[in-house]
């Protein structure tokens, strides 16, 4: 009995998911050698699973942890060559694949796949909210792929995929009329304002802000540090698969748009994730209070 290509690919994906989970458990237990062993099991099928760049990044990180730095550098180079615009490449190289590719060609290719529509509307929203245009494009590319009349199954509307109730609340805070959410100018302004309000709530910590735009601020506050040692681990530990990939995608988009525009206004991803991962303000107090309540009950 012959196995179809589709069935075979599904098998590779399933096996890779198991290998990843085992490796991640080992990594969290402080066993880099066992993590590397599990993550290396995909072999030649590494490049045929979702987000294959993850394997290159984490195998290299495990090699670095084991002191095998020259081997890690080989994987870093392969990562940049194969996946020049990937989130994981930007974690290692500030300019992504431009580190190993001709810069002029790199930016031309990027511009083909990362369009910048609605420039006037985005410029207006950027001035009104202080949010960088590159960040707005990054969110919009992931949310709607620039489709003005996009409508999700959950009812999110337009270019920035806003829920009507959220849009009305943000419009009220801006003291502007609640207009047609399919209007690019209104949708982009309200979406940017919502993102900017999350930035204030989460003290400018971009991974949390992006996660909150997708999953909601309450979820992100509840997750707190997710017992991660750094921001890169925090992204990997996000409980919702959709939000986890959403964060990677938006951060990746933002880096590419920064390269296309040549913007120096925003921090690079490799600098953002190098900052200490701190608890969400107020969460440690709330957890301490709950702990005391449990102790009192005993």
Tell me: the pLDDT tens digits for 128-179? 999 999 999 999 999 999 999 999 999 999 999 999 999 999 999 988 887 8
Residue 11: the pLDDT is: 61
Q: pLDDT at position 294, please?
A: 34
The tokens of 32 are what? 């880099």
Helix (H) or strand (E) holding 75: helix 69-82
Phi, psi values for residue 151, rounded to 5°: -140, 120
Write down the pLDDT at residue 13.
Answer: 77
Which pLDDT value is given to residue 103? 67
Q: If we measure between CA atoms, which residue out of 240, 249, 278, 272 comes closest to residue 91? A: 272
- 186 lies in a domain? yes
Residue 243 lies in a domain: yes
Euclidean distance between CA atoms 176 and 150, whole angstroms? 23
Are residues 22 and 163 part of one domain?
no
Both 43 and 133 in one domain: the answer is no
Query: Considering 83, 101, 134, which residue would you say is the last residue of a domain?
Result: 83
Distance CA 248, CA 265 (A): 21
What per-residue confidence (pLDDT) applies to 265?
A: 84
Domain that holds residue 64: 5-83
Q: Looking at the structure, do residues 72 and 138 belong to the same domain, yes or no?
A: no
Is 60 exceeded by the pLDDT of residue 197? yes
Query: Same structural domain for residues 59 and 139?
Result: no
Token pair 């107020």 is at which residue? 282
Does 107 reside within a domain? no
Nearest alpha-carbon partner for 193 in 170, 172, 163, 161: 170
* Whole-angstrom distance, CA of residue 201 vs CA of residue 184: 26
Cα distance between residue 137 and residue 257, in whole Å: 8
Question: Same structural domain for residues 166 and 242?
Answer: yes
Window from 49-53, 115-119, 186-190, 282-286 with minimum mean pLDDT: 282-286
The tokens describing 91, both together, are 């974690």
Rg (CA), the chain: 21
Question: Quick one: pLDDT band at residue 286, thresholds 50, 70, 90?
Answer: very low
Q: Higher model confidence: residue 291 or residue 236?
A: 236
Choose the weakest-confidence range: 105-119, 195-209, 225-239: 105-119
Tell whether 176 is covered by a domain: yes
The token duo for 143 is 């949310």
Please tell me whether residues 71 and 129 are part of one structural domain.
no
Closest CA to 275 of 227, 210, 205, 228: 205
Q: State the CATH number of the domain containing residue 37.
A: 1.25.40
pLDDT tops 90 at residue 216: yes
User: Is 237 domain-assigned?
Assistant: yes
Instruction: Identify the residue with better confidence: 175 or 115.
Output: 115
Of the pLDDT bands very low, low, confident and very high (cuts 50, 70, 90), residue 16 is confident
Inside any domain, residue 99: no
- The domain boundary residue, chosen from 83, 110, 129: 83
Is the same domain home to 156 and 274?
Answer: yes
In this prediction, residues 5-26 reach a mean pLDDT of 78
CATH number of the domain residue 243 falls in: 1.10.530.10
**pTM for the structure as a whole:** 0.90
What DSSP character marks residue 205?
Answer: -
**124 domain-assigned:** yes
- Please say whether the beta carbons of 220 and 208 come within 8 A: yes
Q: What is the mean pLDDT of residues 238-264?
A: 96
Q: Collect all residues with Cβ–Cβ distance below 8 Å to 276 and sequence separation of at least 6.
A: 230
Q: Are residues 130 and 53 in the same domain?
A: no
Same domain, yes or no, for 14 and 138? no
- For residues 187 and 209, give the distance between their C-alpha atoms in angstroms, rounded to a whole number: 19
**Mean pLDDT score of the chain:** 90
Task: Annotate 100-123 with three-state secondary structure.
Answer: CCCHHHHHHHHHHHCCCCCHHHHH
> How high is the pLDDT of residue 65?
98
Among residues 160, 157, 161, which one has the least CA distance to residue 180?
A: 157
Same domain for 66 and 163?
A: no
**How many structural domains comprise the chain?**
2
- Give the number of other Cβ atoms within 10 Å of residue 148's Cβ: 13
**Which one is predicted more confidently, 199 or 15?**
199
> End of a domain among 83, 98, 133?
83
Could you tell me the sign of the dihedral formed by the alpha carbons of 30, 32, 37, 38, in that order?
positive
Whether residues 245 and 178 share a domain: the answer is yes
One domain, residues 76 and 135:
no
């Amino acid at each position: 009995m012959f196995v179809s290509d589709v069935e075979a690919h599904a098998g590779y994906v399933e096996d890779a998911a198991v290998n990843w989970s085992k490796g991640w458990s080992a990594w969290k237990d402080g066993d880099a050698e066992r993590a590397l062993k599990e993550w290396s099991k995909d072999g030649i099928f590494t490049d045929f699973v979702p987000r294959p760049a993850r394997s290159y990044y984490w195998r290299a990180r495990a090699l670095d942890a084991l002191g095998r730095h020259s081997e890690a550098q080989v994987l870093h180079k392969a990562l940049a060559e194969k996946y020049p615009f990937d989130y994981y490449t930007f974690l290692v190289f500030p300019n992504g694949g431009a580190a190993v590719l001709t810069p002029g060609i790199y930016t031309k290719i990027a511009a083909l796949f990362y369009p910048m529509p609605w420039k006037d509307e985005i410029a207006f929203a950027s001035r009104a909210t202080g949010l960088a245009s590159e960040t707005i494009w990054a969110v919009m590319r992931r949310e709607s792929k620039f489709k003005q009349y996009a409508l999700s199954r959950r009812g999110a509307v337009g270019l920035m995929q806003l829920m009507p109730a959220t849009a009305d609340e943000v419009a009220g805070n801006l003291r502007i009329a609640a207009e047609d959410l399919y209007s690019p100018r209104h949708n982009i302004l309200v979406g940017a304002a919502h993102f900017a309000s999350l930035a204030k709530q989460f003290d400018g910590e971009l991974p949390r802000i992006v996660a909150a735009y997708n999953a909601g601020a309450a979820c992100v506050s509840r997750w707190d540090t997710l017992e991660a040692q750094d921001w890169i681990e925090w992204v990997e530990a996000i409980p919702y698969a959709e939000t986890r990939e959403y964060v990677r995608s938006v951060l990746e988009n933002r880096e590419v748009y920064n390269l296309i525009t040549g913007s120096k206004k925003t921090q690079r991803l490799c600098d953002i994730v190098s900052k200490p991962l701190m608890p969400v303000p107020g969460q440690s107090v709330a957890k301490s209070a709950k702990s005391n309540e449990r102790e009192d009950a005993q």
